[in-house]
Structure 1
Amino acid sequence: MPHPSLRTALSLRLPIIQGPMTGSDTPALAAAVSAAGGLGTLGCGMRSPAAMAEAAAEVRRRTDRPFGLNLFVQDTPAPDAATVEQAVARLAPLYAEFGLTPAVPARWCEDFAAQFDALVEARPAVASFTFGILNAAQVEQLHSADCTVIGTATTVAEAVAWADVGADAVVASGMEAGGHRGTFLATGRLQAEGLAPAEKAPAARGPSQADFAASMVGTMALIPQCVDALRPRGVAVIAAGGIMDGRGIAAAQALGAEAVQMGTAFLACDESGIGPAYRDALAHATGTDTRTTRVFSGRPARGIVNTMLQRLHAHEADVPAYPVQNALTGALRRASAEAGRADYLSLWAGQGVAAVRPMPAAALVAVLEAEWRAAQAAVGALGVEQP
Structure 2
Amino acid sequence: MDLRDLLGTELPIIQAPMAGAQNHELAAAVCGAGGLGSIPAGMLDAQALEAELSAIEALTDRPYNVNFFCHPTPAHDPARIEAWHQSLAPWFAEFGIDSSTLPSGPTRQPFDDTMAEVLERHRPALVSFHFGLPSPELLKRARATGAKIASSATTLEEGLWLQEHGVDLVIAQGLEAGGHRGIFLNEDLTTQLGTFALLPQLVDALKVPVVAAGGIADSKGVAAAHTLGAAGVQLGTAYLLCPESRTSALHRAALQSPRARHTTLTTLFTGRPARGIVNRLMRELGPLPVGVPAFPLAGNAIGALRAKTEGLGLDHCTPLWAGQNVSGCREVSAAELTRELAAGWQA
TM over 0.5: yes
CA distance in 2, matches of 1:285, 1:67: 34
Give the Å deviation of 1:369.
3.0
For residues 290-331 of structure 1, give each alpha carbon's deviation from its aligned partner in whole angstroms, at most 9, with x where no partner exists.
Answer: 111111211111110100111211761221121011233122
The answer for the alignment partner of 1:143 in structure 2 is 143
The answer for the alignment partner of 1:289 in structure 2 is 262
Alignment of 1:187-266 (within 5 A): 208=187, 211-214=188-191, 216-231=192-207, 235-266=208-239
CA distance in 2, matches of 1:83, 1:33: 42
The answer for the alignment partner of 2:166 in structure 1 is 166
CA distance in 2, matches of 1:22, 1:82: 29
CA distance in 2, matches of 1:181, 1:64: 31
CA distance in 1, matches of 2:77, 2:150: 34
Aligned identity (percent) is 42
Alignment length, in residue pairs?
Answer: 344
The answer on 1:326 being equivalent to 2:299 is yes
User: Which runs of no fewer than 5 residues in structure 2 stay unpaired?
Assistant: none
For residues 337-378 of structure 1, give each alpha carbon's deviation from its aligned partner in whole angstroms, at most 9, with x where no partner exists.
Answer: 3333221110010010243112221121132234544xx2xx
For residues 116-143 of structure 1, give each alpha carbon's deviation from its aligned partner in whole angstroms, at most 9, with x where no partner exists.
Answer: 4433443211110002323444333222
CA distance in 1, matches of 2:102, 2:73: 15
Give the Å deviation of 1:286.
5.7
The answer for the alignment partner of 1:65 in structure 2 is 62
Q: Is the 8 A contact 2:226 2:345 kept in 1?
A: no
CA distance in 1, matches of 2:140, 2:288: 41
Give the Å deviation of 1:228.
1.2
The answer for the alignment partner of 1:204 in structure 2 is none
RMSD: 1.9
Which one of 284, 289, 309 corresponds to residue 316 of structure 1? Answer: 289
The answer for the alignment partner of 2:103 in structure 1 is 105
Q: Is the 8 A contact 2:260 2:277 kept in 1?
A: no
CA distance in 2, matches of 1:258, 1:315: 34
CA distance in 1, matches of 2:115, 2:280: 34
Give the Å deviation of 1:272.
1.1
The answer on 1:89 being equivalent to 2:86 is yes
Amino acid at match of 1:132: G
For residues 215-236 of structure 1, give each alpha carbon's deviation from its aligned partner in whole angstroms, at most 9, with x where no partner exists.
Answer: x2011110011111113xxx11
Q: Are residues 286 and 227 of structure 1, via their aligned partners in 2, closer, same or farther at CA, if it must alter by over 3 Å?
A: farther
User: Which runs of no fewer than 5 residues in structure 1 stay unpaired?
Assistant: 187-207, 377-387
The answer for the alignment partner of 1:272 in structure 2 is 245
Alignment TM-score, normalising by the size of structure 1: 0.84
Alignment TM-score, normalising by the size of structure 2: 0.93
Q: Is the 8 A contact 1:290 1:303 kept in 2?
A: yes
Give the Å deviation of 1:22.
1.0
CA distance in 2, matches of 1:221, 1:339: 42
Q: Are residues 97 and 66 of structure 1, via their aligned partners in 2, closer, same or farther at CA, if it must alter by over 3 Å?
A: farther
Stretch of structure 1 that moved more, 359-368 or 100-109? 100-109
The answer on 1:49 being equivalent to 2:46 is yes
* Structure with more helix by fraction: 1
Q: Are residues 6 and 315 of structure 1, via their aligned partners in 2, closer, same or farther at CA, if it must alter by over 3 Å?
A: closer
Q: Is the 8 A contact 2:2 2:12 kept in 1?
A: no
The answer for the alignment partner of 1:179 in structure 2 is 179
The answer for the alignment partner of 1:359 in structure 2 is 332
The answer for the alignment partner of 2:74 in structure 1 is 77
The answer for the alignment partner of 1:298 in structure 2 is 271
Give the Å deviation of 1:166.
1.1
SS at match of 1:358: coil
Q: Is the 8 A contact 1:156 1:225 kept in 2?
A: yes
